[in-house]
A and B are shown apart, each in its own frame.
Chain A
Amino acid sequence: DAGVIQSPRHEVTEMGQEVTLRCKPISGHNSLFWYRQTMMRGLELLIYFNNNVPIDDSGMPEDRFSAKMPNASFSTLKIQPSEPRDSAVYFCASSLGEWVSSYEQYFGPGTRLTVT
């Protein structure tokens, strides 16, 4: 299996622009997680889906952020409009189930976003 695939790997954009990050989970995995990693806040969960349905989006910082999972093999994280403080590495992870005690989360390589 190719693992979790994220695109793009690097994104540089100007403040105010729309940014879309993409994730393809491992085939057969039912749960998908979006994380953000920054020096200041570390690694934090933004949102997760189970069977394509958003279960918990309490980590989404504000209305500028939105995430969708239209089918089992694709998810997007969109930022509109982007701001310099959104600069971070965004990870997507997938697992066979939402219970971390039972199912390992497999992380993608991340998208490094820079907003100037």
Chain B
Amino acid sequence: AQSVTQLGSHVSVSEGALVLLRCNYSSSVPPYLFWYVQYPNQGLQLLLKYTSAATLVKGINGFEAEFKKSETSFHLTKPSAHMSDAAEYFCAVSGSARQLTFGSGTQLTVLP
């Protein structure tokens, strides 16, 4: 079985500050890991994914995430937050490669 835990349901950062959203996973098989973003009243959009290639994964909008097996983590970072980054972010895991299991989400607020 697979699961993800997102630490912090709400994160606030100042514009220009580092964004760090935390995700820890549990998987009985080598996992595939994903980050999605959801803007208000919209569906989810894929930011990036890890599929056992490079452990540092770069995604859209300047986001990246690093797969750390020893820590069972896949934290999402962005060096400098923009107002447009305000949204809800979901970490997801797949063990079977057919189904996604999502975390509970982290609401990111960017303060001017």
CA distance A98 to B100 in the complex (A): 11
A101 contact from B43, B45, B94, Cβ within 8 A: B94
Q: Is the CB of A91 within 8 A of B42?
A: no
Residues in B neighbouring A45, C-beta threshold 8 A:
99-100
The size class of the interface chain B forms with chain A is 20 to 34
A108 contact from B34, B43, B102, Cβ within 8 A: B43
Q: Is the CB of B105 within 8 A of A56?
A: no
Q: Is the CB of A100 within 8 A of B43?
A: no
CA distance A102 to B96 in the complex (A): 12
Q: Is the CB of A110 within 8 A of B43?
A: yes
Interface size on A, residues (CB 8 A): 22
**A residues lining the B interface (CB < 8 Å):** 4, 42-45, 48, 55-56, 91, 93, 98-102, 104-110
29 contacts between A and B (CB under 8 A): A42-B103, A42-B104, A43-B44, A43-B90, A43-B105, A44-B102, A45-B99, A45-B100, A48-B99, A55-B98, A91-B43, A98-B98, A99-B97, A99-B98, A100-B32, A100-B34, A100-B94, A100-B97, A100-B98, A100-B99, A101-B49, A101-B94, A104-B46, A105-B44, A105-B100, A106-B43, A107-B44, A108-B43, A110-B41
